[in-house]
Amino acid sequence: MLLRVENIHKSYGAAEILKGVSFDMAPGQSKVIMGPSGTGKSTLLRCINHLTPPDKGRIFVDGEELTAKNLNTMRQKVAFVFQDFNLFTHLRTVENVAIGPRKLRGFGKKAALDLAYKELERVGLSDRADAYPAELSGGQQQRASIARALAMEPKLILFDEPTSALDPELTGEVVSVMNKLASEGMTMLVVSHEIGFARKAADEIIFMEGGKIIEQGPPSQIFNAPQQDRTRAFLNVIEHGDDA
- Classified as helix, coil or strand, 43 is helix
Mention the CATH class of domain 3-16+24-240.
alpha beta
Q: How far is CA 16 from CA 53, 158, 172, 206, in A?
A: 14, 23, 35, 19
Domain ranges of the chain: 3-16+24-240
- What is the pairing mode between strands 188-191 and 3-12? unpaired
In whole angstroms, give the CA distance from residue 28 to residue 182.
Answer: 8
* The pLDDT of residue 241: 57
Partner residues linked to 189 by β-bridges = 31, 158
Residues in the chain with pLDDT < 50? 242-244
Q: How far is CA 191 from CA 160, 187, 206, in A?
A: 5, 14, 9
Q: Which helix (H) or strand (E) holds 214?
A: strand 212-217
Tens of pLDDT along 193-233? 888 899 999 999 999 999 999 999 999 999 999 999 999 99
Torsion of CA 109, 91, 160, 127, to 10 degrees: -80
The one-letter amino acid at 118: K
Backbone angles phi, psi at 91, to 5 degrees: -110, 145
* The pLDDT of residue 244: 43
- What is the pairing mode between strands 78-81 and 156-160? parallel
Overall pTM surpassing 0.75 (yes/no): yes
CA angle 173, 178, 182 (to 5 degrees): 150
